[in-house]
Structure 1
Amino acid sequence: MKRNNSIDVMRGLVMIIMPLDHVRDLLHITSLSQSPTDLTTTTPALFFTRWVTHLCAPTFVFLSGTSAFLSMNAKKDLAATRHFLLSRGIWLVLLEFTLVNFGIWFDPHFNVLIFEVIAAIGVGFLILSLLLKLPPRTVGLIGGLIVALHALVSLIPVPENVVLKVLLSLFSPMAFPYGSGKLFLMGYPLVPWLGIMLIGYGAGYFFESTENGQRRIFLKLGLLSLGLFLALRVVNIYGDSVNWATNKNLLYTLLSFVNVTKYPPSLQFCLLFLGIMFLILSRVQGLKNGYVDRISVYGKTPLFYFLVHWYLIHPLVFVMVFLQGFKSSDLVFGSNFGRPKTGSGVELWAIYLIWVFIVLVMYPLCQWYGNYKERHKEQTWLRYI
């Protein structure tokens, strides 16, 4: 299948942005005690450091659905596409609960297991494999209805019991204690993220238009999405679990207005960040220059990048805490990432320096791996990383 350069560039952009949030999570001085989007305690710089990375997950999930459509359309082989989605879906779930979870926590006891974006894409592929006989537009419509209506589930009064809690975890984040002192976190509830993937699959047709056609389509979709977001946000009734409010000054009121809910991804969250994604796609379509070529290097190897970058960032946690005078006996694993309970961390300016360092180090690694995949297409296992 011929690669779609705009998809590689879009993925590359979010791959560049993504480590900023992970570096902040693991290394920032307040990340263990403060939410960067809590307007009562945050600063504008910290808020936007977190907010800009909201673009990453919906873009990954949407384009995963799009890539599935383009692959099936190129092969004209439903059975082969279904087999690939099933096998890749299972593989992604296994990766989530092994290499990814260890990379996040560096805890050999796996006291905390978290279901995040890689598992959400993996299970999404499993479900999408069962829908391939449906017309893509129907699949996209199902996805749109899920994104628009999944919040209504929270309005249904249900008694408290384990079975219903498990079912509700498909719609909203939940925590489940298990074993001896262990915790399973449903960080990316399956249903709303599945909706985004199905929309991406249904939108696959747009990526087969001419370059000019794609520019027009994505510009219209971006403006429509952002227009709907603005309309819903101004009305302040439906589409997000947290309404915006007038704050202590104009800037913080603006922060409140754009402070939409990611966990689970609300309708307004999806409209805002998918709208931004569509506008970027309309700009990068057909764009060719040295910067675009470099950005696409990251976008051609997204899973490789995602796996490796954790193993670059997390050792820096231990470098940081030991340089700050802590001992190995001070380290707390699990939700602390191996950091001491208090007193460790670096300021926001250092977070940006470390982020740039991670992105720069990942470039030659992604370039090498992308070239290796290109030279060894006969090795089918390379399709899975």
Structure 2
Amino acid sequence: MAGSVSIASGPFEAAAPARAAPAARVRLENIDALRGFVMVLMLLDHLRETWFAHIAVTDPIDAATILPAMGFARFAVSFCAPIFVALTGLGVYLFSINHTREETTAYLLKRGALLMALELVPLSVFYWGIVPQPTFWLQVIWAIGLSMIILAGLMRLPRPALITLGLAILCFHNLLDPIRLTPDDTLFPLWAMIHQRDTFALPFGFLAKTTYPILPWVGVIVLGFGIGPWFRSEVPAETRQRRLLLLGFGMIAAFVVLRLLNVYGDKPWFVVEGDPVRTVISFISLTKYPPSLLFLLPTLGGGALFLVLFERIRESGVVAALAVFGGAPMFFYILHLLVLRILYHSALAIWGPTHGTLFTLDNYNWVFVWYAAMIVPLYIPTVWYARLKRRRRDIAWLRYF
């Protein structure tokens, strides 16, 4: 990225100094590359939602019945949301280096509110006509926006207290799992948004689906903010990489130990007699809604390792290509959802429903075919937009997308 760098704050970027040192470009380009990597992975999941919606995906998935390809793909795309939210917290810290606390607070409040509005309209509307009743999906963009608003208050805590809070949420929020409210309870909508994935009614026949209950994601964004000092310009690359490697391998090791013990952090895994592949799928089948402790440990740990990898292979064209997606994440997010909705409704209009009221494909391999076919067509406009943002920094609204 010539001449300037982007500091990631979720789906938006905050302008860094106009002339960044080469070391800073290297330090921050790997963040863009990691964000781009998870955006590319996310496309696989949304293609599955578009063309294979007739196959129900439970949470966690049922290893005894799931198609093996879907089981492993589900695990791969599990890295997307945790890494993206953690990078949001990291990006906020990097933004705060060159801005006052008041400016950072205003940034978080405005961007967070805008993200929440975008999730309601137009992103939720993209799914109308696929689901039977108009629903406002409180998904990852909603969760990031609300987490940013909460972080605006929490970042005033001393860093040790902030990290302790993030770790406490990450490690112990599963203790709240037994608390289940029903629609008859007064606090049901609030609890559904905090920790219980559920659906509640809205006026005029609308529904709200809390796909991403907020509490665990607050812990993730807080921890992302907490490791921000590792990415300051005065921290040697070797020191940063050593810390990230210890963090990454430590979280993955903790996952393996806790998963083998099978006592806390997620629903138990099981051995599928005579089928080692499905046994492995059971081991890596983890609860995403809300994300369990065991869901977050390997995904966040893997994210730390990928940061090191991308920094070490920074000279390769792969990092630069992924950084393009990561430099314009909201543009890519809206673009790919819009394209998928157009393709879906076009297919439905031409060929009609193939499974109930849905148009679906009969073989999951078609998802991978579409995945390979869409990467380049989506990459071209994303490159154009990323370059436009860098070239026209005088147009403020371009930074929002």
For 2:187, what is the secondary structure of its paired residue?
A: helix
1:246 is matched with which residue: 247, 271, 275? 271
Distance 2:334 2:129 in 1: 13
The residue type equivalent to 1:218 in the other structure is L
Distance 1:98 1:379 in 2: 23
Question: Is 1:5 the equivalent of 2:5?
Answer: no
Change (3 A) 1:93 1:222: same
Residue 124 of structure 2 is matched in structure 1 by 101
Residue 176 of structure 2 is matched in structure 1 by 153
Question: Is 1:237 the equivalent of 2:263?
Answer: yes
For 1:32, what is the secondary structure of its paired residue?
A: coil
Asked if structure 2 preserves the Cα contact closer than 8 Å seen for 1:114 and 1:185, the reply is yes
- Output aligned runs, 1:307-318, within 5 Å: 307-318=334-345
Distance 2:68 2:155 in 1: 44
1:362 is matched with which residue: 369, 378, 381? 378
Residue 5 of structure 2 is matched in structure 1 by none
Residue 6 of structure 2 is matched in structure 1 by none
Asked if structure 2 preserves the Cα contact closer than 8 Å seen for 1:102 and 1:110, the reply is no
2:360 is matched with which residue: 323, 340, 344? 344
Question: Is 1:63 the equivalent of 2:79?
Answer: no
Distance 1:110 1:292 in 2: 41
Asked if structure 2 preserves the Cα contact closer than 8 Å seen for 1:144 and 1:199, the reply is yes
Question: Is 1:219 the equivalent of 2:245?
Answer: yes
Change (3 A) 1:88 1:343: closer
Task: Give the paired residue count.
Answer: 370
Question: Is 1:173 the equivalent of 2:203?
Answer: no
- Output aligned runs, 1:168-207, within 5 Å: 168-169=191-192, 170-207=194-231
Residue 315 of structure 2 is matched in structure 1 by 288
Offset from partner CA, 1:196-216 (integer Å, 9 cap, x none): 111101111122232222221
Distance 2:211 2:127 in 1: 13
Asked if structure 2 preserves the Cα contact closer than 8 Å seen for 1:301 and 1:366, the reply is yes
1:21 is matched with which residue: 38, 45, 57? 45
Change (3 A) 1:299 1:157: closer
Asked if structure 2 preserves the Cα contact closer than 8 Å seen for 1:174 and 1:187, the reply is yes
Offset from partner CA, 1:321-362 (integer Å, 9 cap, x none): 345x32xxx69xxxxxxx853673242221112112222112
Residue 103 of structure 2 is matched in structure 1 by 80
Instruction: For residue 383 of structure 1, report the CA deviation from its aligned partner.
Output: 2.4
Instruction: For residue 180 of structure 1, report the CA deviation from its aligned partner.
Output: 4.7
Offset from partner CA, 1:4-59 (integer Å, 9 cap, x none): 1111110111111111000111112xx22422732232121121122211110001
Offset from partner CA, 1:212-253 (integer Å, 9 cap, x none): 22221111111100011011111111111x101111322211
Asked if structure 1 preserves the Cα contact closer than 8 Å seen for 2:182 and 2:188, the reply is no
The residue type equivalent to 1:368 in the other structure is W
For 1:162, what is the secondary structure of its paired residue?
A: coil
Residue 39 of structure 1 is matched in structure 2 by 63
Offset from partner CA, 1:278-317 (integer Å, 9 cap, x none): 1111211142221211111111111111111101111111
Residue 134 of structure 1 is matched in structure 2 by 157
Offset from partner CA, 1:166-186 (integer Å, 9 cap, x none): 232111201102335432100
Asked if structure 2 preserves the Cα contact closer than 8 Å seen for 1:147 and 1:195, the reply is yes
Could you list the runs of 5+ residues in structure 2 that have no partner in the other structure?
Answer: 1-15
The residue type equivalent to 1:321 in the other structure is L
Could you list the runs of 5+ residues in structure 1 that have no partner in the other structure?
Answer: 332-338
Residue 305 of structure 1 is matched in structure 2 by 332
Asked if structure 2 preserves the Cα contact closer than 8 Å seen for 1:320 and 1:345, the reply is no
The residue type equivalent to 1:92 in the other structure is L
The residue type equivalent to 2:34 in the other structure is M
Distance 2:180 2:63 in 1: 30
The residue type equivalent to 1:246 in the other structure is V
- Report sequence identity in percent: 29
Distance 2:56 2:124 in 1: 22
Residue 336 of structure 1 is matched in structure 2 by none
The residue type equivalent to 1:244 in the other structure is W
Change (3 A) 1:299 1:171: same
Question: Is 1:383 the equivalent of 2:394?
Answer: no
Distance 1:90 1:84 in 2: 10
2:290 is matched with which residue: 264, 287, 303? 264
